[in-house]
Amino acid sequence: MAEGIELTEYDKTMQRLAKEFEEALKEALAFPYPFAPGFNKQRQPFGVRDMKKKTGALYNSIQVEFIPGLNEIQVSMLDYWRYVNDGRRPGKYVPIKALMRWIRVKGFNKNKKTGKFEKFKIKDVAFAISTNIKKFGIAPTFFYDKAATQFEQSFEDEAVKALGIDFETFFDKVFEQNK
């Protein structure tokens, strides 16, 4: 929108709601989820995942903004968000090259005591992880769904009600874009 032109109350409210939804998504993603229980929770969890650290790239990629000219809310985040949200059923291998990139980014070969990188065969580790995912799957977090449920409370606000914005209308305008 051109500078000097005042936003309408509707636009201001939609921008506020977009930011609230962004915060709800980040909060739901940062929730400590059980570590590695498998898709159907057929394994005992190995502890709790700090999702803000473990999925820092995903967490940092979440952006929600209202585009006044289009009257749209654009939600953008890294393309693998659906796997984090919906999990992955057992039965298929994960592509090895994608896992190898992920292992490098996460620094799995970094010694926790010395801080130095140790030599190991990333391909072997990627194959082991892929085999484990094929066997057990990945448990869903439903972070997007939880965020939407939590965010629904924002529509109880009197200003939002006065402008005729409801939960369904807001989500009718949501368009997801992958980064």
Question: Could you give the CA distance from residue 32 to residue 66 in angstroms, rounded to a whole number?
Answer: 29
Question: Could you give the CA distance from residue 40 to residue 89 in angstroms, rounded to a whole number?
Answer: 8
CA 141, 146, 149 angle in degrees (round to 5)?
A: 165
- Could you tell me the pTM of the whole model? 0.73
Q: Which residue ranges make up each domain of the chain?
A: 1-89+140-179, 91-136
pLDDT tens track for 28-86: 998 876 656 566 666 555 556 665 556 578 899 999 999 888 888 899 999 889 988 99
Question: Could you give the CA distance from residue 51 to residue 101 in angstroms, rounded to a whole number?
Answer: 19
The total of other beta-carbon atoms located within 10 Å of residue 171's CB is 13
The amino acid present at 31, given as its one-letter code, is: F
pLDDT tens track for 103-141: 877 777 666 777 766 667 788 888 988 998 898 888 888
Q: Which residues contact 84 (CB under 8 A, 6 or more apart)?
A: 29, 55, 58, 141, 143
DSSP symbol at 170: H
